[in-house]
């Protein structure tokens, strides 16, 4: 297949992903018939709180002075530092381009990601790609980062680990300097919105750091949407809010 054929196929695949996500989210028209207001209090689904592990998953918060102040070096530190309790062999790096202005924070790698060699593999990754296509992005035009670089046993981040991982993630955001931050799932929302996903959705939040400010939007993780597809329409509203912020 020639270069034009490959480019055409990529465009076709992107359109298919976009239409598939819209269909799954219940969208049947590009422009809604009724006006909407983001100032109204949204109706929020009840999301079960994350289970807590008995022992901390991550070592005490590293000294900020020990964390590199340059993004590339910091990413390498995340993969190799013994200051984190997560096994080095299980850690995964962020994906995408940190210069695109959009950073997406998930809680941790999925089961099978390590074997696949990167974040968001399998069916969860397919849905994630459709969500990106719905906002005119793909993995190359976003910066996708896990709160924990390794998957945590039981699939939940406890409070002790969250304090440490949150401090590290805030440093990561400050170094990357995105214009917009999309948090997916409860733990990242707690770090950057000050509350769980149930309370954080439907409102734009601001994260302040030494280098400036970042607008934060919270939504469901595609993993959760696969388990609870009835929330896809609500997630689409979150993505619309993100789009409006990007184009404002």
Least confident of 6-15, 146-155, 171-180: 6-15
Both structure tokens of 198: 């149930």
CA 208, CA 218: separation in Å to the nearest integer?
Answer: 16
The rounded distance, in Å, linking the Cα atoms of 129 and 100 is 16
Confidence of residue 11 (pLDDT cuts 50, 70, 90): low
CA distance 203 to 193: 9
- Is 93 inside a domain boundary? yes
pTM of the model: 0.78
93-to-76, 96, 195, 226 alpha-carbon distances in Å: 8, 10, 26, 24
Whether 24 is covered by a domain: the verdict is no
- What's the structural domain count of the chain? 1
Q: How many beta carbons lie within 10 A of that of residue 227, not counting itself? A: 10
Beta strand extents in the chain (DSSP E only): 95-96, 102-106, 143-146, 180-184, 205-209, 212-219
Q: What is the average pLDDT across 195-212? A: 93
- What confidence score (pLDDT) does residue 83 get? 85
Domain assignment present for 26: no
Has residue 29 got a pLDDT over 70? no
The predicted model gives 37-55 an average pLDDT of 43
Helix %, strand %, coil % of the chain (to 5): 45, 10, 40
In a domain, 31, yes or no: no
Which range of residues forms the domain containing residue 95?
69-247
What is the C-alpha separation between 205 and 214, in angstroms, rounded? 8
Q: Is 169 part of any domain?
A: yes
Take residue 238 and report the two structure tokens written for it. 């979150």
pLDDT for position 37? 46
Task: Tell whether 21 is covered by a domain.
Answer: no
CATH for 191: 3.40.470.10
pLDDT digit string, tens, across residues 78-95: 999 998 888 999 999 999
132 domain-assigned: yes
33 part of a folded domain: no
């Amino acid at each position: 297949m020639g270069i034009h054929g490959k480019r055409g196929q990529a465009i076709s695949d992107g359109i298919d992903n976009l239409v598939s996500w819209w269909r799954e989210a219940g969208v049947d028209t590009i422009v809604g018939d009724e006006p909407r207001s983001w100032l109204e209090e949204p109706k929020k689904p009840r999301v079960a709180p994350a289970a807590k592990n008995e022992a901390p998953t991550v070592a005490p918060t590293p000294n900020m002075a020990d964390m590199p102040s340059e993004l590339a070096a910091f990413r390498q530190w995340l993969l190799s530092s013994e200051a984190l309790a997560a096994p080095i062999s299980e850690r995964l790096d962020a994906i995408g381009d940190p210069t695109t202005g959009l950073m997406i924070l998930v809680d941790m790698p999925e089961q099978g990601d390590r074997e696949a060699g990167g974040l968001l593999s399998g069916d969860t990754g397919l849905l994630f790609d459709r969500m990106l296509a719905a906002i005119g992005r793909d993995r190359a035009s976003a910066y996708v980062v896990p709160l924990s670089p390794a998957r945590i046993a039981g699939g939940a981040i406890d409070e002790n680990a969250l304090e440490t991982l949150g401090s590290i993630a805030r440093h990561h955001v400050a170094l990357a300097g995105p214009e917009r931050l999309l948090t997916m799932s409860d733990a990242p929302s707690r770090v950057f919105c000050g509350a769980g996903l149930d309370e954080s959705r439907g409102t734009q939040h601001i994260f302040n750091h030494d280098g400036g400010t970042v607008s934060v939007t919270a939504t469901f993780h595609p993993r959760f949407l696969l388990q609870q597809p009835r929330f896809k329409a609500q997630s689409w509203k979150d993505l619309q809010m993100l789009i409006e912020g990007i184009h404002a």
